[in-house]
Amino acid sequence: MADRGASFRRDLSEWRIALVAWRLLVLQAADPVVSAGMAEHSTYRAHPWRRVEHTLGSGRRLFYQDEETLRREIARLERAHKRIRGAGPDGRPYDAGDAATRAWVLLTLFECVVAMRRLGGDPYDAQELELAYAEFRGAVAAFGLPGGEIPGTAGELSAYFARYARERLEFTEAARYLLGDLLREAPRPRRLRFLGDAGWRAVRLVVAAVIRELTVADLPPAVRERLGLVRTRRAALLSAVLHRGAGAVVPRLPDRLRYRSPEPARPKRRHPKRSHPRRDGRGPRLDRFFREVLDQTGDGSITVHDLRAMAHNVCWQLELDEAGEARVYEAFDSWWEQLRAVMDADGDGRVSREEFVAATLAGCDRDEAYLERGLLPALRAVFAAADTDGSGFLEFDEYRAVFGGPRVHPAELSHGFRRLDTDGDGRITREEFLAGFTGFFTARADSVPGTELLGRA
């Protein structure tokens, strides 16, 4: 009986959860509070795959790990949600601490696991469903949500979803974007790096069509009706083929292939090729830094929200305590103020790619005083943000948390770290960081160590 009660945990870590991952995001984004928070505080446009990983990864920490991991994850979510509040584009206030919204987000995770089993042809029976839901509620109780927000039994979930869809859900801008343009614009996942940009652009069109059709087909009927979406026969057939195929194959795999490990595997290191000097590589380097590091929301400009999204991602990966998170957010806010003060030429509170590149090139070319007036204070703020434990050094995990991304291969990032670590002691001092990063922004040739802090271009 105990083993059956743990089935929800196992199913959450099964690889076929990927088939309902986009469905999960759409269900959550259809809540206006979630949508408003995503618009200003999320990196889902530029890093959609990271958003999926964070959502599922958080679920695994909540339901798959021990009580201490559960406690830390809830504390981390509480700290993150305190910062997600404001007014949406339509003027309506939103607050991620809203109890009804938090309950909805949690329950969509459970419902998607149930849907995965049902669509795959191996649904929970009534007893298994109640046992799985009791396990789920046991973890959710640690959030301290008001009584009545979480249905008492699994049998009440159908009515809850229908009511919530009717009273709260909307076809929000975030939900529309998830089902539309995002899928056609999504960056290449790291695992598909071998396709190259041209190959991924071709594959992406097919992926976009498949994910959209599958997601619409799999949404609960009450949600489809509320959002005005139609489940076509073609979509229904696609859903049946994919889910039934996965349901027939995946459960028969050995556990090491069937389930995803809670801990991500360390990337293998590769020996880098030699870099070749270029005449003036600053423009492409600055453009790449803007796209891959600064523009977290993927809208072509950077604001305080991009820097805070970076801070959130750093804290998320390194699992910092409250004091550590506060230090990281303070440092990233300082970094933003440096960027805004030096580069926001039109005073609109945003720094465009053109403003960033032009201001950096002009400042470096105009006079050396620019370094101390604009660049070096910003770099000191970056170092403070990356140095999450306050040790005065950057370890590789800290470096990766700030400068890693879906478009930067782990081997390239490791190479950049080693290039900055000029004394080879396995950590980067502030002096090494400032010298290397200054070279990234100012060196015309690509042979300076700092020009490869993101790996080779």
Instruction: Provide the CA 368 distance to its chain's centre, in angstroms.
Output: 38
**Does a structural domain hold residue 271?**
no
Q: What's the CATH code of the domain at 369? A: 1.10.238.10
Does 292 lie in the same domain as 237? no
Domain boundary among 258, 292, 312: 258
Please say whether the beta carbons of 226 and 166 come within 8 A.
Answer: yes
pLDDT for res 383: 82
Identify the band that residue 3 occupies on the pLDDT scale cut at 50, 70 and 90. very low
Q: What is the pLDDT of residue 220?
A: 94
Question: Are the C-beta atoms of residues 342 and 359 closer than 8 Å to each other?
Answer: yes
Within a 10 A sphere around the Cβ of 173, how many other Cβ atoms?
Answer: 17
CA 420, CA 424: separation in Å to the nearest integer?
9
Angle at 48 between CA 45 and CA 52, to 5 degrees: 140
Give the type of residue at 162: A
Query: Who's near 232: CB < 8 A, 6+ residues apart?
Result: 213, 217
For the full predicted model, state whether its pTM sits above 0.85. Answer: no
Once rounded to an integer, what is the mean pLDDT over residues 177-201? 77
Residue 269 lies in a domain: no
144 occurs within a structural domain? yes
Q: Which of 81-85, 296-300, 408-412 has the highest mean pLDDT?
A: 81-85
Mark whether 303 and 244 lie in a shared domain: no
Q: Which residues pair with 429 in a beta bridge?
A: 393
Q: Is residue 82 part of a domain?
A: yes
Which among 57, 56, 61, 94 is positioned nearest to 75, based on CA atoms? 61
Identify the domain containing residue 108 by its residue range: 2-258
In a shared domain, residues 125 and 157: yes
- Decide the pairing of beta strands 301-302 and 351-352: antiparallel
Q: Are residues 378 and 237 in the same domain?
A: no
pLDDT at position 275: 41
If asked whether residues 33 and 134 sit together in one domain, one would say: yes
Q: Cα separation of 94 and 209, whole Å? A: 32
Residues 22 and 164 in one domain: yes
Q: How many domains would you assign to the chain? A: 2
For residues 111 and 251, state if they share a domain: yes
Query: How far is 354 from 119, CA to CA, in rounded Å?
Result: 48
